[in-house]
Amino acid sequence: MRKSGVLQAEIEVLVPFFDVDSMDIVWHGHYVKYFEMARCALLDRIGHNYVQMREAGYAWPIIDVQLRYMRGARFNQRIVVRADLVEWENRLKINYLISDAETGERMTRGSTVQVAVEIASREMLLASPKVLVEAVERALL
DSSP 69-111: ESS--BTT-EEEEEEEEEE-SSSEEEEEEEEETTT--EEEEEE
Q: Is residue 76 part of a domain?
A: yes
Q: Is residue 41 part of a domain?
A: yes
The pLDDT, as a whole number, for residue 74 is 97
Q: Is residue 131 part of a domain?
A: yes
pLDDT digits (tens, 9 = 90+) for 72-112: 999 999 999 999 999 999 999 999 999 999 999 999 999 99
> Distance from CA of residue 13 to its chain's centroid?
14
Q: Is residue 61 part of a domain?
A: yes
pLDDT digits (tens, 9 = 90+) for 28-48: 999 999 999 999 999 999 999
pLDDT digits (tens, 9 = 90+) for 113-129: 999 999 999 999 999 99
- Give the list of residues 6+ apart from residue 95 with CB closer than 8 angstroms, or none: 2, 3, 4, 5, 83, 84, 86, 109, 110, 111
Residue 57, number of CB atoms within 10 A of its CB: 14
pTM of the predicted model as reported, rounded to 2 decimal places: 0.94
Does the structure show a pLDDT above 80 at 3? Answer: no
The pLDDT, as a whole number, for residue 90 is 95
The pLDDT, as a whole number, for residue 2 is 66
The pLDDT, as a whole number, for residue 125 is 96
Q: How far apart are CA 53 and CA 43, in angstroms?
A: 10
Where residue 127 sits, what CATH number does that domain have?
3.10.129.10
The pLDDT, as a whole number, for residue 4 is 78
Q: Is residue 2 part of a domain?
A: no
Q: Is residue 1 part of a domain?
A: no
pLDDT band at 139 (very low <50, low <70, confident <90, very high): very high
Q: How far apart are CA 34 and CA 93, in angstroms?
A: 16
Percent of the chain residues topping a pLDDT of 70: 98
84 touches 1 (CB < 8 A): no
Q: Total structural domains in the chain?
A: 1
Does the structure show a pLDDT above 60 at 1? Answer: no
Q: Is residue 81 part of a domain?
A: yes
Q: Tell me the residue range of the domain where 72 lies.
A: 7-140
